[in-house]
Amino acid sequence: MIEMQGIRVWPDADGWLDNKEIYKPARYGRCTAERAKGRVGWWQVTAPDGSVGCLNPNIHTVVEHDDGTITVTPSLDFSKRKPGGWHGWLMRGVFRSV
């Protein structure tokens, strides 16, 4: 198992995530901009290998902890989109591979 500390990307004053930051490996953040194409409040995650995805609230449960970290269930499986893509857990802001 490989572990990597994630870094939360906070939205700017307009509610958008900085693309230069959110697309770096081991990042996560939540866009709060009202014009976010129906995905206001959806979490965006960039896995340690650079795989990127949004957490669909119909699939994933996100618990936001007092320190700003998050825990996501079920696991994040980017291998379905990209063969060999990252698969693992995000627990209290730490990415842990399967």
Check residue 39 and give its pLDDT. 61
Contact yes or no for 17/24 (Cβ under 8 A): no
Check residue 85 and give its pLDDT. 85
Check residue 33 and give its pLDDT. 82
Residue with tokens 């399967």: 98
Alpha-carbon torsion (82, 2, 25, 47), positive or negative: positive
Q: pLDDT digit of tens for each residue in the chain (98 aa)?
A: 789 999 999 999 988 899 999 999 999 999 888 765 666 678 999 999 999 988 988 899 999 999 999 999 999 998 877 778 899 999 999 999 98
Alpha helix (H) ranges present in 2-96?
Answer: 19-22
Q: Which domain covers residue 31, as residue numbers? A: 3-97
- What is the C-alpha to C-alpha distance for residues 44 and 63, in angstroms, rounded to an integer? 14
Domain count, the chain: 1
